[in-house]
Chain A
Amino acid sequence: MQSDKTIFAPFVRKSDSTSRVMADVILALLPCIAMSYLAFGFVPVMVILVAVGSALLTEFLFSIIFSKNTESLSDGSAIISGILLAFTIAPFTPLYVVAFGGSMAVLFGKLLWGGLGRNIFNPALIGREFMTVFFPAVMASRTIWYDKTAVNINELNIFNDSFINQLFYKASGAIGEYSIFFLVLGGLFLLIRQRISWHIPFALLAAFTVLLLTVSNLTEYTIQFSLGGLLLGTIFMATDMPTSASTNYGKLYYGAMIGLTAILCIINDVKYEYMSYSILLLNAFVVPINWVFRPNVWGQKLDLLTRLWQGLSLTACILMATFAVIYLHHTGLIMYLVFIYIAYCIIRFIAKGVKAE
């Protein structure tokens, strides 16, 4: 359907495009890439480059083989998937594992679903899950997280307060987490450019904070989480357009549920994957969320009771799924979930191809 169908209105359009949306996101991510160089020099930069490179190469090869049209490479979405994937992993992750992750991110996160926009799950997080499942030993090793000898700049003392200095720059954690300040700045930029709306980040952080305070006040449990990881997920992954809710109320619910799911994961001892689990989990529920939280059509009465009932059932389903995932996590069965996912993607892709012929 890529033809010139000028017989249909409108004949004027806002000058905007998918590539511009993606370019804005890349722009918002650039400062954090620079910060990763400050932390460990070229090591994390290489990780980012390899992730982006393998994502682009995979998309290029896939397009040549299956669609003979490499136009989609220019939309920039593979670059974003690559950067975001690199942002969630450790700086000293072996590059072949990174290449595998970048490649799987676009292949199973996007291409097999029919390209940008048709995917259900966040490609970067899919790539990360694949890495954890196929290279469990590498990904669980502690040595990939820190190397004292490789530290480029240990700390920046720009402000008088050490806490604020740490928010500005701190050389620990995953590649994207070195600067809370630039993560937030990137988010504000996207907000101003209207590439994300405030609903998801606000609801997510509000739910997370409220639950965090409740849990730590009512129980002995001390919640440990990475602020950088939380913000990276909140600003750049939970707001990913194709895989998040599209209506305003839907976005609020979606964000709040990610916050709730993340806390549930944390208090049930899911130590590192709580953000990726909760975002991927909510990705799966975007279609019903959009339906239950659809806007009320002009001039029609809102059937609040039905909506409420549907919302409650939806919440129950999400909670059950959350506990199922936590169970699978602790029994080491997440890998089978990934295998099923792989099989489903491939079968679905082949079936679509057969149907089209």
Chain B
Amino acid sequence: MHILSMKGKTKKKSIQDIEDAPFLYIPLAEYLGCAPTPVVNVGDKVKKYQLIGEVKDKFATKVHAPVSGVILETKDYPFADGSSVKTIVIQNDYKDEEVNDISYKDYNQCSPEELIERIKDAGIVGQGGAQFPTAIKYSVGEHKIHTFIVNGAECEPYLTSDYSLMAERTEELFKGIDIIKKILNADNVIIGIEHQNRELLKVFAPYLQQEEHKGYKAILLPDQYPQGGELQLIKSATGIELPRSKRPAEAGIIVSNIGTIYSVYQAVVNHKPVISRIITISGERSINYGNYEVKIGTPIRHITKSLGIETSGNTIIQGGPMMGKAIQDLSIPVTKGASGILFLKKKEVKRSNCISCGYCVDVCPMRLMPMKFEENYRKKKYFNLEKYSISSCIECAACEYICPSNVPLIESIKEGKIKLKELANAIR
């Protein structure tokens, strides 16, 4: 499906900094039931890059202090998904004292295992939104990886944070790719970018010609939504159609997002853990549009104040407009997976009945029948949801984007998945 782009306003803006917030809120968020364990106490002084949340369970990721300062408290604090999460509050002392650990060895001499360890120590998660721990993803075990795919398809409207990294920090990015290729022992590297960003091919050309980048190629992808979806990208790049139930590594493929690769570079080459990320500020109600490097834990209120963005009467979205989340509370902090903050005019959505036009069936990238999810959810026939393969749905929202009746498809799908899980648990 072709979808609006809205990237023009921020595409040409170079990455800028936003001044650090006086208080930072570092959520110890769970992933697959595993949360980081705090290793600092209230009143402790911490330095920038210092580890503050340690990993005990498999899927948890380490968290670090983004600034130097004092641990003010640990409390339950609002989180982007609307829940509240145990959060470490740091008072910034604006001294920027850094941890200077110099006991590491040159990364060129590191084994793949040691490199993965560094990635783990840096607390890197997939920055495309899913936030899967990258160290686990790269621990492919006995699977032979033939292709490493760089996901430069930023298919959500408005977002240009990955674009800005590709355009401005190309050298770092290629170093990051080299490191990951070495870890995975991959034969090929495919960098996928969208046709609307084809000018990047010129930026990449000098790097692709280098001797050490043999086996690398950049490909242009059609401007289709959701081209950046992992499975859709794999199909476009390699022709392989993987079911959602299968991990790409099992088919010899690993896909990583641009932001993630940049973090790998920072972690391995500069020994810097993830304490910031690039986010796009955009949307029709925004001012000072652009791509900003923001510290993890910065409350959104701080960003709107620094940039002078009016917030009342707007819908504020963390992430893209297709798959992102509306923010109800401005104290919510920026997380590692947030690729943008968008300010859109609040609109009343007028819902009407499904007229079975079939547009949603036509645009569904997973070849499902989205209308059936709404119908069965409405009729409370939850088991029928799986009959129509709801578990294959990637929630890309293409169906609801195209729907002329504004049928609550995504709501039905998300809530339906929860209901189905509850029922399955009840039976067990």
Which residues of A does B touch, CB under 8 Å?
1-14, 16-18, 20-21, 75, 114-118, 197, 241-248, 251, 290, 294-300
- Whether the pair B404, A298 counts as a contact (CB closer than 8 A) is no
Pairs A–B under 8 Å by Cβ, sample size 18: A6-B326, A7-B328, A8-B410, A9-B321, A9-B410, A12-B4, A12-B322, A14-B402, A14-B404, A17-B405, A17-B406, A18-B404, A242-B355, A246-B371, A247-B369, A297-B389, A298-B243, A298-B367
Choose from B325, B361, B364 the contact partner of A7 (Cβ within 8 Å): B325
A116 to nearest B CB, angstroms? 6
Return chain B residues, CB-CB under 8 Å to A5: 349, 408, 411
A12 touches B358 (CB 8 A): no
Tell me whether B408 and A11 are in contact (CB under 8 A).
Answer: no
What residues of chain B lie closer than 8 Å to A3, measured between beta carbons? 351
Q: In whole angstroms, how far apart are the Cα atoms of A345 and B124 in the complex?
A: 59
Whether B392 lies near A297 (C-beta < 8 A) is yes
Whether B242 contacts A299 by the Cβ 8 Å rule is: yes
Residues in B whose Cβ lies below 8 Å from that of A247: 358, 361, 369
Bound Cα distance A183, B347 (Å): 39
* B182 interface residue per 8 A CB criterion: no
Contact A295 B356 (CB under 8 A): no
Q: Once the chains bind, are A244 and B356 in contact (CB under 8 Å)? A: yes
* A115 and B242 within 8 A (CB): no
By a CB distance below 8 angstroms, the chain A residues around B349 are 4-6, 13
Point out the residues of chain B lying under 8 angstroms from A241, CB to CB.
355-358
Q: Is B367 in contact with A9, judged by CB distance below 8 angstroms?
A: no
Q: How far is the CB of B360 from chain A (nearest CB, A)?
A: 9
Q: Which residue of B lies closest to A17 (CB)?
A: B404
Residue of B321, B353, B401 most packed against chain A (CB within 10 A): B353
A18/B322 contact (C-beta < 8 A), A246-B369, A296-B367 known: no
Q: Which of A2, A9, A21, A116 contacts B351 (CB 8 A)?
A: A2
Q: Are B353 and A117 in contact (CB under 8 A)?
A: yes
Of the candidates B243, B355, B401, the one whose C-beta lies within 8 Å of that of A10 is B401
- B315 pairs with A117, CB closer than 8 A: no
Which size bracket describes the interface of B in this complex?
A: 35 or more
Determine if B406 and A13 form an interchain contact, defined as CB atoms under 8 angstroms apart.
yes
Closest residue of chain B to A22, judged by CB?
B355
7 nearest interchain CB pairs?
Answer: A299-B243, A117-B353, A246-B358, A295-B367, A10-B397, A117-B355, A11-B321
- B390-428 Cβ-contact flags toward A at 8 Å (1 or 0): 001001010011111110101100100000000000000
Cβ contacts B352-380/A at 8 Å (1 or 0 each): 11111110011011111101100000000
Do A299 and B351 contact each other (CB < 8 Å), given the known contacts A9-B325, A13-B400, A13-B406?
A: no
Given known contacts A9-B317, A11-B315, what 11 new A-B pairs fall within 8 Å (CB)? A8-B326, A9-B397, A9-B410, A11-B321, A18-B404, A117-B353, A241-B357, A248-B361, A298-B392, A299-B241, A300-B243
Contact of B355 among A114, A116, A298 (CB under 8 A): A116
A11 to B357, CA, bound (A): 21
Complexed CA–CA distance, A237 and B343 (Å): 44
Q: How far is the CA of A4 from the CA of B371 in the complex (A)?
A: 20
B34 within 8 A of A: no
| Contact of A18 with B352 in the complex, beta carbons under 8 Å | yes
Residues of A contacting B324 in the complex (Cβ-Cβ under 8 angstroms): 9, 11
Q: Evaluate contact between B356 and A246: CB separation under 8 angstroms.
A: yes
Residues of B within 8 A of A16 (CB): 402, 404
| Residue B237 at the chain A interface, CB threshold 8 Å | no
Q: Does B330 contact A (CB under 8 A)?
A: no
Neighbouring A residues of B352 by C-beta, 8 Å: 17-18, 75, 116-117
Contact (Cβ within 8 A) B321 A294: no
> Is A6 within 8 A of B244, CB to CB?
no
Per-position contact with A for B283-325: 1 when CB-CB < 8 Å, else 0? 0000000000000000000000000000000010100011111
Judged by a CB distance under 8 angstroms, whether B12 is at the interface is: no
Which chain B positions have C-beta within 8 A of A11?
A: 315, 317, 321-322, 324, 326, 342, 344
| Minimum CB–CB distance for A356 against chain B, Å | 13
* Nearest chain B CB to A18 CB, angstrom units: 5
Say whether B112 faces chain A, with CB atoms less than 8 Å apart.
no
Task: Determine how close the nearest CB of chain A comes to the CB of B27; give it in whole angstroms.
Answer: 19
CB distance from B361 to the nearest CB of A (A): 5
Say yes or no: A299-B231 contact (C-beta < 8 A), given A117-B356, A244-B356: yes
CA distance A247 to B363 in the complex (A): 11
A18 to B403, CA, bound (A): 9
| Residue contact B400 to A10, C-beta cutoff 8 Å | yes
Q: Give the residues in chain A near B348, CB-CB below 8 Å.
A: 4
